[in-house]
Structure formats: C-alpha cells, structure tokens
Structure 1
Amino acid sequence: MVKAPLIVFLYSVRVTVNSARLSQTLVSCGIFQYTLATDAFQLGYTEDGHCKGEVELSLPPPQRLVWDIPSEVQAQVCSSLAVAQTLADDVDCHVFPFNDFGKGRIKKCRISPDAFIQISLQLAYYRDRGGFCLTYEASMTRLFREGRTETVRSCSNESCAFIKALEGGEREEECGHLFRRASEKHQNLYRLAMTGAGIDRHLFCLYVVSKYLGVESPFLKEGSPGSEDAPGRVSLQADRQGAGPCSIGVADDVHDPVGEALFGKRTA
C-alpha cells in the first residue's frame, strides 16, 4: 500500500512534512527547498511584502467540487470515521523538549544514536511496565531495487541484560560494558536488516506462500498476524506493546527458535 506524505500547515506559518517512507520525505523536502529558493532568490518581494510581478486576472476562480456519494458509501464512511475517532480519542500525546544533550555527544562516546534511543525506550518501558516486550523498528532496504523496509527487533538479550543490571544496582563499569554490548548488538541487527539478512520479511513471505499452496505449518501459523500465540515467539506483524516476553530474531550465542523451526536444532 502506498502511503501519501502528509503536509501540515501550522498557524505559526510553519510547514511540516510527515512521510512513511524516507524516499517520500526526500522528494517532499526537495520540492519545498526548490520552491523556497525560487521564491526568495528569483521572484522576490516588494517593500510592502507582496510578491513581485503582475496579477494574472484571466485565471478561472476555484470551484468547489460536489461529490455524489451513494448512501451505502456514506454509511461506510461514517462507520470508519467513528472507529478512527475512537482510536484517536484513546491516544495521549505529550511532547517536551530535551536540551541536555543531543546526538553529537552520543557520537563522541562512539555509540549509535539510534541504538541509544532504542535502548532508552526499552528502559523506559521496563520502568513503566516492569517487563519486556517484542519491539518493532523499521529499517530501510534501499540497497535493493524496490526495497522498502525490514524489521529490527530492538528488544534483544543484550539490551535486557543491560536494563536488568542497571535496575539491579550493578557497578557503573559493568553497566557501561553491558550498554556498549547492547548498542553494538543493535547496530549489527540493523546492518543485517539493511543488507537483506533480516528474518521477518522472509518469514512473512513463507507464510504467504504457505497460504497460497495450502501448506500447513504450525510454526508459521503460530506467528501469523492475528494469532493469539504470536507475541510469545515471533510475530509477522508490528507487535503490540506489552504483549509477550523478550525475544530476539537471530543470534549466534542464544537459543534460536526461528532457525530450529526452519532448519532443525544445531548439533554443535
């Protein structure tokens, strides 16, 4: 499904662009930059603040479009609006500025800003809920033709170990060591996702093919969208917050239920 970028004009004469894809954001920002540059450096303004040039009076005035919507469609629109309004009313959003430090200081510590934020989110969730949950982070796959996204499972064994040590009052040196391990693990998972070595999209493809061929797979069925057991192991969709234990997709030094289900248990 193609998601169109959302352009928001604020009362403060500011404009924001919200896009689901990085490519859409780049295109939208490029158009805005071209428009602003043309407006400021080529067209210009008069001393009283009006645009330079003559007013073109031959242009037709705008006309309001009146849509003929059947009663069935109108009923469906009203029903969808009620559902959307209920979801919107159930969301609380509070935005506050954080000026203590930024990504510059994080980079000076040789830590990925993305890993820092993701581990911080895990810590905040643990302090709020007292546990861990499967977490979805989107990674770009623009290295491939028509590449879109892959899933990064930011709730890893390493991040859980760091958070438990921090909340358990371990020594600062030990917490720092575990934090660096967790950030390096997150970076590695992100690299794997970017280079096509993630698992979520592959598993989803196997799930779709199994449905097309009529092949029953208990493992894929357990992780399928809508399955009640999905959050317990691996889910083929963006996971719900608070649903399920800590899990990791691929790792060399931990139990790997995905690999065992697809290829069998290791012998060494």
Structure 2
Amino acid sequence: MKYVLVALSALILSSCEPPPAGEPVTRTRIDGQAEASPSPSPSASGASSVTSQVESACRAIIFEDTSLTHCLAVPSRHRIAMTLGPDGGDPYRSLTAFSRARGASGLAFAMNAGMYGEDGRPIGYFVVNSQRLATLNTNDGDGNFHMKPNGVFFGTGDQWEIRTTDDFLANVSDRPEFGTQSGPMLVIDGEIHPEITRDGPSRFVRNGVGMDERGRAHFVISNAPLSFGKLARFFKDELNATDALFLDGNVSALWNPATERLDTGAPIGPIVVVERKDTSDDE
C-alpha cells in the first residue's frame, strides 16, 4: 500500500496556538526510512472565519524542549465523530475544505485521524455514523501502519477506547458509532510500544490520540519535529495515558476555531471531529 509522500518542512510556532506554516512534509516509517510514493500537491491555504469567545479545548505546551499542542476531549462535554468527505462524495483532503463545508459552530477542534492511500481513503478500519467505510486491516507490510501492534480508536456515545487491532478483533463485536485504525500503538496498557526506542533518528511533525483512566481522549500534535519516543513519553509520562495510538506524521493538521488555528499543507485523509455538547455560546 502506498502512502502519501510530500517534501519535508518544519512548522514554526511564533506564539500561543498560531496557525503553523502549512508546508508539505515527508511521511516516514518508524525506522526513519522514507516511504516512496508520488508527491501530491499541497492543499489550498485557508483561515478560520469565525472569532469565538469559547474557551479553547487545546493548549500549547513545551515537553522536553519541543512545542506541542494538546487538545482534551471529555465525555461529559464533548462528542466525537469521524468524517472523510461529504456524503457520497470524495474525501475532503484538507481541514480547509472541511471547514468550508461544516462551519465552526459547536466545533471544539478537528484533526487528521489515520493513514490512507493515494486517493485519501483509509487503509484500515474506518466507521462514520455507525457506517463501516473500510474493514479491519490485519495484513503485514511495511511502514508505520503495519508496525505491530497497531490499533483502533473507537467509541459510541460517551464511551471511547483504544485497543490493539488483535484485541479489537477478538473482543469487539458491536459496530461503534465511530472508529479509525492506525499504527503503531504508542502506549499499550501503560507501557511504551516495545519497538519504539527512546529517541530514534527519525524527527518529524506527528500526531496521536491517547486515553486515560477517566475515559478522556487526549489529542496531541507536535508543532516541531520530534521522535516517536518523545511523543510516546508525553502520552505515558505527562498525560498518564493507558493506551495511545499514532495517527500520522508530517501531514498532521489541526483546526481549532477558538484560537483561529487552521493548519494547511499536504493532503490528508480521515478526520476526527470533536464537538461541544453545549453550543449555547454559538447562538
């Protein structure tokens, strides 16, 4: 399975939660080798048109001298869903296109959420509104997605989980309301993935999601290149995540209307959408 390959560029953080420069960057494997595939054109740039007084669900933080953005979804306050494109249409391929189609009302934040093929469609399990758009992928192969164990982030209502793919296959029989498969797992039952070194040579902008014991979902995107090990440590040591899943690297993007951050750059695929349950501030 070929993934997207785009040219490497660092994102620059000039102030708290600014829109980083959306230059194309290179997706690489966990071992630091680049994945070869044709270079797509970067998505069109855009900016949020909504100025909101709603408190941001995201915060800027420095961890081990690297700038990260941490966005928190709480079951009592948020709903989580997945999207790929308009009903019956092609994938959005950018948060800019998604923002134009959806609008910012009631949105806490959105982020790219899983790996995909050249057409932008997921290469693993993917569920939108209880409709399964792609089946569970248990194949072996090259690249981050196939670094076993990989895993699935899924949920229904207020119950959200991350499980390894084997655990999901063996124990989850009911279709969730949302789900996305990616890989590798970063944290498994409170321990870092055994094949992730503390600080390998690969340094790229990356994002992932983790779950804590309180059932909260932590979404993290780096604002500068970092290693897999550092991202995994942040989930384990700072967020106390029991399980965490790598979502993607160097196509990573965030839309946070509260701070008018709308990342642009390389084409993306699946998108996770976190909405506020109380939208009275938008009325």
* TM-score class normalised by the smaller sequence: under 0.3
Bigger share in strand: 2
Bigger relative contact order (CA 8 A; separation at least 6): 2
Bigger share in helix: 1
Q: TM-score, normalised by structure 2?
A: 0.20
